[in-house]
């Protein structure tokens, strides 16, 4: 299911992945000034292709290599002969066949390999210049894209929601916080998020997310210092049983938030004592 609409000169392509009659995922691609930002998943390829065929496109920017953002990249390269750009850490991943878990293949499809080029510090679209900002944490090849003249910011998966409840096993809360702090040094307002869509007051919500994560870190460390285990901290702070935990067989879990915070705190203390 696809819905297309305009916000601040950006074409927002909103995709809903439906499995067994239920919404399994929401994902956005964006198009502005001849530039596609993230391509959408392979499961929506048949619905996305007519949109891409009817658009004038010069290049594709990928905020990171996860399959829900890159699933239609191979088609765009093969059929539209478009250059695709990603952070240098994602180039080799894009060239590899699908290796991610079955539940992600079921939801987002099987991404075909494609050849991406490493992105520079800036990007020029048809009429505009864009700043590329490295924002790791959710993925080590994650970037954001900022148009400084208008304050439009494309954030990939850095925002998603103001209060994070589950993360992937390899995510880093510390790096996510640092990436948000980096973005907040820039002048922006509207955020275009690949799972939340267009957010008019994006900077304020980014600040709220950072404040939430900072407070969460203090809570986790305090509870740990009182002698609680990781499991006990997780149960106290995140009592709800989120379906994604079981569906992903633990790749997504609230527990990973706790372990990320504690492991990074331990590493900081060890470095401080050296």
The Cα angle at residue 16 between residues 131 and 49, in degrees rounded to 5: 70
Can you read off the two tokens belonging to residue 217?
Answer: 């870190």
Q: Please say if the pLDDT value at position 273 is more than 60.
A: no
Q: β-strands 129-134, 122-124: how paired? A: antiparallel
- Predicted TM-score (pTM) of the model is 0.94
Q: What is the mean pLDDT of residues 149-158?
A: 97
Spatial separation of the C-alpha atoms in residues 272 and 274, rounded to whole Å:
6
Buried b or exposed e, range 247-260, using 16+ CB within 10 angstroms? ebeebbbbbbbbbb
Which has the closest alpha carbon to 216: 186, 182, 173?
173
Percent of the chain with pLDDT over 90: 92
pLDDT digits (tens, 9 = 90+) for 61-80: 999 999 999 999 999 999 99
What pLDDT does residue 20 have? 74
Q: Note whether 17 and 108 are within 8 A (CB).
A: yes
- CB-side exposure of 110: number of CA atoms within 13 Å? 4
What pLDDT does residue 21 have? 76
């Amino acid at each position: 299911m696809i819905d297309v609409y305009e916000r601040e000169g950006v074409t927002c392509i909103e995709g809903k992945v439906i499995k067994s009659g239920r919404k399994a995922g929401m994902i956005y691609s964006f198009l502005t000034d001849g530039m596609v930002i993230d391509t959408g998943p392979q499961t929506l390829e048949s619905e996305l292709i007519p949109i891409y065929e009817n658009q004038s496109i010069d290049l594709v920017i990928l905020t990171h290599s996860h399959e829900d953002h890159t699933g239609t990249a191979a088609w765009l390269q093969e059929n539209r002969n478009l250059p695709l750009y990603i952070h240098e850490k994602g180039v080799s991943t894009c060239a590899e066949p699908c290796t991610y878990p079955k539940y992600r293949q079921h939801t987002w499809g099987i991404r075909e390999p494609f050849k991406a080029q490493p992105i520079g510090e800036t990007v020029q679209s048809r009429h505009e210049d864009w700043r590329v900002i490295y924002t790791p944490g959710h993925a080590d090849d994650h970037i954001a894209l900022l148009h400084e003249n208008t304050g439009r910011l494309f954030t990939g998966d850095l925002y998603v929601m103001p209060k994070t409840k589950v993360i992937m096993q390899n995510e880093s809360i510390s790096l996510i916080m640092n990436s948000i702090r980096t973005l907040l040094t820039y002048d922006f307002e509207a955020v275009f998020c690949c799972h939340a869509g267009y957010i008019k007051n994006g900077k304020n919500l980014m600040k709220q997310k950072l404040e939430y994560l900072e407070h969460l870190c203090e809570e986790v460390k305090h509870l740990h210092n009182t002698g609680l285990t990781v499991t006990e901290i997780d149960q106290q702070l995140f009592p709800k049983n989120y379906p994604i935990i079981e569906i992903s067989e633990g790749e997504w879990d609230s527990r990973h938030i706790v372990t990320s915070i504690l492991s990074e705190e331990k590493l900081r203390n060890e470095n401080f004592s050296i």
